[in-house]
Amino acid sequence: MSILDIRVLGDPILRQATTPVAEVTDEIRRLVADMFETMHHARGIGLAAPQVGRTERLAVIEIDGEPLVVINPEIVERSSTKDKAEEGCLSIPDIYADVERPKEVVVRATDLDGNEYEIEATELLARCLQHEIDHLDGRLFLDYLSVLKRTAALAKWKLEQNKYPGFIRHTALETPEERKRHEHPDEEL
Ligand code: K1U
Ligand code: ZN
């Protein structure tokens, strides 16, 4: 398994729509294993293929030790009730903002055995699924912010982005101090 580089804001791949996975092959399973390893190393709760420079429509999530692989995911139902909570993004390190999203969603996806399934999600899982599916459609959480908040977030990012030449975050090379700095402020090691 390998820790992959993560593409950061400014890399055009983060704005491209992905291509559905035609067949779940061993190559797809290897990509998924590498994405889990990368997500764990970066201390995230989700990771979508474009974030590691790939165009396949798939993402991985792990919340409370429960791994979830979503291949070709689609949201088939959204609650009308909305919820606002803070989000971060491994492709926009150190920038956080409150985002309003449907509180509950039903997602249809394919698993690693090639079987279709549906998952009803609430709370953080619902939020994370929406965040990852947005990545697969070329959307980022910044797109939901007011002009004022987006401008402030982008101004902060301007000060950070020179740390990532070529829009690449060399995840495997980050020192323990850097990894700790990128953690969400509420998180404890
Ligand atoms: O896709 C990504 O960039 C991963 C992202 C997923 C995510 C976090 C928060 C809400 C929705 C989706 C992260 O894992 S960011 C790091 C993180 O663990 C975190 C940040 C803010 C709140 C909770 C967790
Ligand atoms: Zn993200």
pLDDT of residue 50: 98
pTM of the model: 0.95
pLDDT band at 96 (very low <50, low <70, confident <90, very high): very high
Mark the residues whose beta carbon lies below 5 A from ion ligand 2. Answer: 89
Residues 6+ apart with CB under 8 A from 95: 88, 89, 142, 153, 156, 157, 160
Looking from the CA of residue 48, the nearest atom of ligand 1 is: 1
Residue matched to tokens 């903002």: 97
Nearest 5°: the CA angle 125, 109, 45 is 30
CB distance 121 to ligand 1 below 6 Å: no
Asked whether residue 116 carries a pLDDT value surpassing 80, the answer given is yes
**By alpha-carbon position, which residue is closest to atom 5 of ligand 1?**
89
Asked whether residue 185 carries a pLDDT value surpassing 80, the answer given is no
Task: Enumerate long-range contacts of 149-158, CB under 8 Å, 24 or more apart.
Answer: 149/97, 153/92, 153/95, 153/97, 156/94, 156/95, 157/9, 157/92, 157/95
Asked whether residue 188 carries a pLDDT value surpassing 50, the answer given is no
Ligand 1: centre distance to CA 107 (Å): 18
Percent of the chain whose pLDDT exceeds 90: 90
CB distance 123 to ligand 1 below 6 Å: no
Active site residues: 132
pLDDT band at 187 (very low <50, low <70, confident <90, very high): low
pLDDT band at 120 (very low <50, low <70, confident <90, very high): very high
pLDDT, mean of residues 109-127:
98
Per mean pLDDT, which range of 53-57, 81-85, 128-132, 182-186 is the poorest? 182-186
Over residues 2-47, the pLDDT tens digits come to 999 999 999 999 999 999 999 999 999 999 999 999 999 999 999 9
